[in-house]
Amino acid sequence: MGGHMLLYWTAAEGAGRREAHDALAAAILCLGGATAGRWATQVSLLRAAPPRSAMDDPPAARQGGASGLALHRVTLSDEPEQVFLLSRSAKQVLQAGAADMQALLDKAVQLKARGSVQLEGQAHAAGDFRICLARAVQAPQQNFLGLLVDVGYQPLDDAEQAAPLLQDLAGVLQEAAEAAGGQLRQVEPGGAGFQLPAAFGAQHRAVQYVQLMAALLEQAG
């Protein structure tokens, strides 16, 4: 899996998203990035629907319990057969195959999607680095939310050891973003309080992408 850094673009006044995308893409090519295929990730917010018998109850009576359950469902481009279910309140991440996860959700509680963020773009390989540049779109509205760069350094799973190398590469991308108007902000590694493996892996990334969804939606207002 390797160490990862997740960045998202914030525009300066008057900055164009096309210009920023092209500037970041050009910077990746200058780093020696070779096209490595399409890349896509999705984060969905799921909420439990209240029982029909509770629909006529006053709001105070419907608070708490299963009807207050909120989960995030994450699918990663490089883990196509896996689904991650994350509870921010319980600080837990569950990983399972897509079919097994759906069966679990069907049995456990009636959940409905309350919106999602779709991330689609291009992956690039630059030596031991893998760099993905993507556009973020809010579904089902299809509203543009921003640009993101997912930078991975394959040889190291230790976040502290990988950090200096990732920061150096991020600095090059930051210069490109600033030249186009705006800047790149880092999504915090997160995971504090979550029961995650010691080595950085897919579950850590799932947490990062849920944090990214929150940051993009807040930025969009």
pLDDT recorded at residue 169:
95
Structure tokens at 172: 């090059």
pLDDT in tens, 114-151: 889 999 999 999 999 999 999 999 988 889 999 999 99
**Across all residues in the chain, what is the average pLDDT?**
86
- C-alpha dihedral over 131, 133, 138, 141, to 10 degrees? -150
Tell whether 55 is covered by a domain: no
Q: Say how many domains are in the chain.
A: 1
Domain extent for 144 = 3-50+63-220
Q: Does a structural domain hold residue 57?
A: no
Question: How do residues 176-202 score in pLDDT, each as one tens digit?
Answer: 999 998 999 999 876 778 888 888 889
Instruction: Annotate 6-33 with b (16+ C-beta within 10 A) or e (fewer).
Output: bbbbbbeeebebeebbebbbebbeeeeb
pLDDT at 106 over 60: yes
Closest CA to 216 of 69, 120, 116: 116
pLDDT in tens, 48-78: 776 555 444 444 434 444 556 789 999 999 8
Mean pLDDT calculated for residue range 85-106:
89
pLDDT of residue 195: 86
| In-domain check, residue 164 | yes
Please give the Cα distance from 217 to 31 (Å, whole number): 30
* Residue 22 in domain: yes
Domain harbouring 161, CATH code: 2.40.320.10
Instruction: Report whether pLDDT(30) > 90.
Output: yes
pTM beyond 0.75, yes or no: yes
Which whole number is the average pLDDT over 85-90? 91
Residue 100's closest CA among 85, 115, 89, 118? Answer: 85
18 in any annotated domain: yes
pLDDT above 90 covers a percentage of the chain that reads 57
The single-letter code of the amino acid at 221 is: G
Question: Lowest-pLDDT range, 18-22, 65-69, 205-209?
Answer: 65-69
